Chain A
């Protein structure tokens, strides 16, 4: 019996702002979630069945709405369960070129994120990752986000998509000079 995907064109993810965790579904097209995040015609993205929790008690649902709008620039990061959901179409096209992964540590307000970034070839400076990579959001794979004030509260995903504007510190190992931005 083949595996049955539960959603068609719908992606379920956890969206994090400074203080809230919002779990919901978002309709995505061929360009995946990056298409929605990079859509300049709207500063909001619409979620279906959004369940809201506070960060200090992230399993407790404090609100539920069938439809909600999330301001994209206020999203710190998005936790995705499946790696392929976090790979941009551009990356997909170039996946046969040699890719290196680097362990990274990244902080956004109230969270620290650990995982790996994947780049083609060697990177000389981390700023090149942040500045040159396309779009406002970039993926960290095999990643975990921990709340700074509640270190026991962790969120793992095969991919976490991070808002570049939210990044405070970005560190990597294995890069020349172990740069800190």
Chain B
């Protein structure tokens, strides 16, 4: 069986085949023979070349989180529109950048006005989350095309705050 996953936002492929007691995984280049057993809903043990790895797993809707040796990985099914998982600025068909908040929070101050010319790294807005202020900066030089929020608005990462034309 072949799977496509987004691993930490990067598209990866892996195939798996069950053979007797072991699983054979392949990423197209290398093959891994692993004895994989699920210990509990949150624990998977994988034995590969005589080394045992404990993988901690948790699920939230279609996202799966794995912790391996203290490091967390997020695995998602690839979406229909592949770019909706891209973090940071998104581009519209016309090439306008949609500036988004990197985390849920509250807009403290919108620092620009419509039609302003801004320089790269100029602060466009300030969003507060968990009592810390975070400056949302322009990723390129450009002109402000639209402003979708005002001071005091609650925002989440899917919402465009500002449209910027490079």
Q: Do A and B come from one complex?
A: no
Chain A residues near B (Cβ < 8 Å):
none
Chain B residues near A (Cβ < 8 Å):
none
